[in-house]
Structure 1
Amino acid sequence: MNKDEKRIIGLLILLLGLTTLTAGLITNQIGYIIEFMKKIFEASIAGLP
């Protein structure tokens, strides 16, 4: 993967995060979204040495 591809993937992940945050704010479900993100990062952190 070259530098440009990594940059595009990073921007897509950022856009997905901002979209999710906005949807949560609009529908007043920010608590659910925060718990969802905690579960995702918990699995990510568990794999670290």
Structure 2
Amino acid sequence: MDGRTTLSILTLAPGRELRDAILASGMEVGMQEQLRVLEEIAISLGTE
């Protein structure tokens, strides 16, 4: 999109209780870290 790669991730939960449990589990923080690593890898591949 506009010369950039876009990644969309959708997590579906059957209800608010499970959604809140997923968010409280720390998954969001771990996912942010993994996306940062993925971005670094993508950048390094683009410079070769």
TM-score where L is the length of structure 1: 0.44
Give the helix-richer structure, 1 or 2.
1
Structure whose CA Rg is larger: 2
Higher RCO (CA 8 Å, separation ≥ 6 residues): 1
